[in-house]
């Protein structure tokens, strides 16, 4: 029996994973949040395939351990960049460091993410899940975009979630000051905002040789949510983790998006692991997408940050990224 379209994601999650044997020798792959879970597994898979890894992590001690593990696994080059993605100045510094250090970027995987059960504002005054999951990945991508356009063919992968189906995005209440905060909806709002900007960016990138897609990495046992209270941690550790899958499937799936030759021109799509899927209707509302694009540019101070980086000659003046921004 075929499930109705809105429940198709259940069936898609059971479909066999598509994989690739294509290698990425020497290709510069930037990945955020590689110290745990999905990002860690993806970094391992990329290293095994010979990629030159740039791991953007908030905890440099954890990142050093991962770097040593990757070095033991393969002879891939691994560089570390420290940044806390709940702080937009840190995101800018990370982008700036990468632009200084790497003349080309072939793959960008925006993976760092959080699930909050309570409303916490970042130092910049944003709701944390919205800031880390959406604003930071939006800003980081935009600041690296010109380098990626100059490095084509190149690919951007947004690690999104079936959690976008929880909804929660209200343009007039992005920081949840007017409503009671609900963790799943806060998470849903951040992932919806990210998806809406994927469609916008894919359209603007058409013909540049840069692709962008969003991927749900499976329901997998990781540390997500472990920043929350003891009750949630207990639920995650003793109940939830037992019904979740091993995150190596996420690493394999994300590697497929980074490397598979058959995806070289695929852009502007959402995938449940490696199966293309239709997102929830609210995540396809292009009018909301255009507003969230503009709002995200404003909230991240994108134009100002681009100007600063132009002045440092990190981004060419009158650059394509800026054209894309306006």
Cα separation, 28 vs 35, whole angstroms = 18
Site string for ligand NAP, 128-167 (x = CB under 6 A): ----xx-------------------------x-x------
Active site residue 238: no
Scanning 80-88, 95-103, 145-153, 296-304 for contacts with ligand NAP by CB under 6 A, the matching segment is 80-88
End-to-end CA distance of the chain: 47
Q: What are phi and psi of 258, to 5 degrees?
A: -75, -30
DSSP 228-297: S-HHHHHHIIIIIHHHSBPTHHHHHHHHHHHH-GGGTT--S-EEETTEE-PPPGGGG-HHHHHHHHHHHH
> Between 39 and 78, how does the x/- string for binding to ligand NAP read (CB under 6 A)?
x------------------xx--x----------------
Binding of ligand NAP at residue 84 (CB under 6 A)?
Answer: yes
Q: In 3-state terms, what secondary structure has residue 126? A: coil
> Which pairing describes strands 210-216 and 154-159: parallel, antiparallel, or unpaired?
parallel
Q: Is 12 in the site for ligand NAP (CB under 6 A)?
A: no
Q: Which of 85, 102, 138, 293 binds ligand NAP (CB under 6 A)?
A: 85
Q: Active-site residue among 40, 181, 187, 232?
A: 187
Interaction between residue 223 and ligand NAP (CB under 6 A) = yes
* The one segment of 1-9, 72-80, 220-228, 310-318 that binds ligand NAP by CB under 6 A: 220-228
CB of 278 to ligand NAP, least distance (A): 17
Angle at 305 between CA 300 and CA 308, to 5 degrees: 170
Residue 267 · residue 206 · CB < 8 Å: yes
**How far is residue 179's CA from residue 199's CA, in Å, rounded to a whole number?**
28
Q: Which is nearer to ligand NAP, 36 or 92 (CB)?
A: 36
Taking the complex as a whole, the smallest distance from the CB of residue 313 to ligand NAP amounts, in Å, to 27
For ligand NAP (CB under 6 A), the number of binding residues is 27
H/E stretch holding 12 reads helix 8-12
CB of 140 or CB of 199, closer to ligand NAP: 140
The CA R_g of the chain, rounded to the nearest whole Å, is 18
Active-site amino acid positions: 187
Q: By the criterion CB under 6 A, which residues form the site for ligand NAP? A: 33, 35-39, 58-59, 62, 84-86, 111-114, 132-133, 159, 161, 216-217, 219-220, 222-224
């Amino acid at each position: 029996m075929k499930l109705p379209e809105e429940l198709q994601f259940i069936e898609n999650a059971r479909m066999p994973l598509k994989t690739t044997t294509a290698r990425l020798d020497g290709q510069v792959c930037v990945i955020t949040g590689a110290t745990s879970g999905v990002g860690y597994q993806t970094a391992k898979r990329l290293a095994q395939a010979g990629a030159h890894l740039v791991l953007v992590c908030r905890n440099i001690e954890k990142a050093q351990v991962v770097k040593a593990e990757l070095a033991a696994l393969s002879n891939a080059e691994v560089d570390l960049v420290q940044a806390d993605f709940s702080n937009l100045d840190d995101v800018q510094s990370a982008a700036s460091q990468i632009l200084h250090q790497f003349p080309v970027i072939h793959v960008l995987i925006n993976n760092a993410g959080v699930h909050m059960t309570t409303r916490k504002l970042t130092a910049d005054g944003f709701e944390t899940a919205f800031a880390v999951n959406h604003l930071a990945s939006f800003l980081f991508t935009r600041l690296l975009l010109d380098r990626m356009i100059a490095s084509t063919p190149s690919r951007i992968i947004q690690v999104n979630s079936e959690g976008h189906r929880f909804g929660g995005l209200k343009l007039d209440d992005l920081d949840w000051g007017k409503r009671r905060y609900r963790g799943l909806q806060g998470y849903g709002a951040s992932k919806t905002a990210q998806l809406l900007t994927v469609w916008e960016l894919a359209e603007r990138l058409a013909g540049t040789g840069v692709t962008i897609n969003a991927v749900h990495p499976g329901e997998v046992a990781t540390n997500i949510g472990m920043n929350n209270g003891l009750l949630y941690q207990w639920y995650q550790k003793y109940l939830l983790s037992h019904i979740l899958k091993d995150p190596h499937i996420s690493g394999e799936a994300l590697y497929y998006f980074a490397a598979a030759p058959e995806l070289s021109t695929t852009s502007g799509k959402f995938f449940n692991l490696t199966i293309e899927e239709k997102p929830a209707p609210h995540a396809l509302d292009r009018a909301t997408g255009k507003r969230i694009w503009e709002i995200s540019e404003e909230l991240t101070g994108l134009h100002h940050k681009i100007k600063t980086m132009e002045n440092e000659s990190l981004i060419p003046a009158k650059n394509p990224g800026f054209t894309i921004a306006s």
